[in-house]
A = this chain, B = another copy of it.
Amino acid sequence: MMKELQKFAVDTRRKFHTFPEVGFTEFITTFEIYQLLQSLSFDLYMGKEILESNERFGVPTAGEIEASKARAIAYGVPEAFAEKLDGGHTGVVAVLDTGRKGPHIAMRYDIDGLPIIESDKAGHVPFDESFQSRHPKEMHACGHDGHISIGLAVAKYLDVHKHELTGKFTIIFQPAEEGLRGANSIVQKGWLDNVDYFMSGHLGINSLQAGSVAATADQILASTKFDVAFTGKSAHAGVEPNEGNNALTAAATALLQLNAIPRHRDGTTRINVGRLSGGSGRNVIADEAVMLVETRGETTELNQYMYEEAVRIIEAAAAMHNVKASIQFMGQGLGSECDTEWIQIVKEACKNNSDVKEIFDVLPLKASEDASYMIDHVQRNGGLATYMIFPSLLPAGHHHPEFDIDEDAIRTAVSVYIDLINYLQHQ
C-alpha cells in the first residue's frame, strides 16, 4: 500500500502545482483538499472555525481576496463553498479521533504558493511535463504543493487504518505560511492545545540526494514581516524640482541602508526588501512608495536587533527626505528549537524504512517558519515538537522560477510520517 500512497502523493502534488494561490486566497486549493478528504473518516473544519480572524497577520486586501475567489468560482468551486472562506479564511483542519486511549498527534502542512512567475524554459520539469502553474503570476516555488500531497496521503493512511489506531489525529492544512501569517491564528483558536506530538517539516531546503530525512531542524530563524509606506509631496520634476518631497528617494535610501545593517556578533541575521514600488508619472516627483520588508535572526533577540535597526533607519530615511513613513506589521515567526528526543524517535521509527537512505540528527533550515508558533505552544504545554527536513537535489533555490523538487523526497516523507505515526502509537 505504501507504493500506492506514494504514487498518489506525487500525482496529487502535480495537480496542486497547477493552481498555486498566495496566502489567504487559497480558494481552489482549500476546495480540492476538502474534496479529497470528504470521503474519508475525518471531521473537517474550515473558515472562522479554524482561524482566529484577528490573529491572522498580513491579510491581503479585500480586492485581492475577491479576485482569487472569482477565479476559483470560474474554476468550478461552488459559490456556497467559497462563501465559507470569505474574507480570506482559507485552509482545512481534519480531525480523526479513534476514541481509543492514545496520544494526540498533530501534523501541519502548509498550502500556499508564491507571487512568482514560473519558468517556461525547457529543462524545468513542471514545464516539460506540463504541470506548470496555470496562474500567470503565482507559483508553488517552495514545495507546499508537495506538503499538501504528503498530508493527504497521510490522511488516507489514517483513514484506512482507523480501526487499528489509538488516540487522536489532527491534520492542519494551514494557509499563508509565506510571510508567517497563518499559524498564529490557528494556535489562538486552540487547535494545538493538548497535543502530545507535533510534527511538521519541509521538502528540499538542503540540496542533497533525495531519500534522506533530518529528524530535527535548527536555525529556524525568528522573523518579522512588515510593510513601509512613505508619503511625500508630488511636484513637476522639470518646473519645480525643489517643491516635491520625494517618497521614492526616501524608500531607495532606506532600502540601501537596510541592506547595510551591521552583522551581529551573536549569530545569523537577515534582512530583505522583497518588493518596492512608488511614484506615478515619469515627470512627477513621487509622492508615495511602499516596500515589503522582513528581518530575521537566529534567535528572537537577534531578530529584534535587526528590527530595531530597521525601524531607526526607516524613520531617518523619511526625515532625511522630509516625508512620512508608516510601518505596518504583516507577520512574525519565532526562533524555535526542536526537541532533541525526536532524533532517537525518528531513528527508531524508520530503522526498517527502505525509502530512507540516511537519517540526519539535524539539518539547518536557515529560514523562518510560522510552525514556530505551533512548536512553541506544544512545547509550553509539555508536548514534543519537531520540524523535519526531507532533502532533495534542487535545480534552483526555493522561491526561484525554476525551483523544483525531486519527487522521491515526497515518497520518502510519506513513508517517514507513516512510520512515525505507528511508532508514536506505542510511546
Contacts and interface: CB of A to CB of B under 8 A. Distances in A.
A160 B355 CA distance: 67
Contacts of A284: 114, 116, 272, 274, 399
Interface stretch (A190-198, A275-283, A374-382): A275-283
Interface residues of A, number: 82
B221 A238 contact: yes
B263 A274 contact: no
Contact of A260 (B249, B283, B286, B312): B249
B249 A259 contact: yes
For this chain, the copies found in one complex come to 4
Given A367-B236, A399-B236, A274 B264 contact: no
Given A253-B257, A265-B241, A282 B272 contact: yes
Contacts of A317: 316, 320
Contact of A296 (B225, B238, B262, B273): B238
A313 interface: yes
A294 interface: yes
A284 B264 CA distance: 15
A282 B274 contact: yes
Contacts of A400: 233-236
Interface in A384-416: 397-401
Interface in A157-192: 178-179
A317 B253 CA distance: 10
Given A256-B249, A312-B319, A397-B240, A179 B275 contact: no
B248 A255 contact: yes
A195 to B, nearest CB: 26
Identify the interface centre among A246, A255, A330: most chain B CB within 10 Å of its CB.
A255
B279 A276 contact: yes
Contact of A281 (B275, B315, B319): B275
Contact of A268 (B252, B263, B276): B263
A305 interface: yes
Contacts of A255: 248-249, 252
Contacts of A322: 312
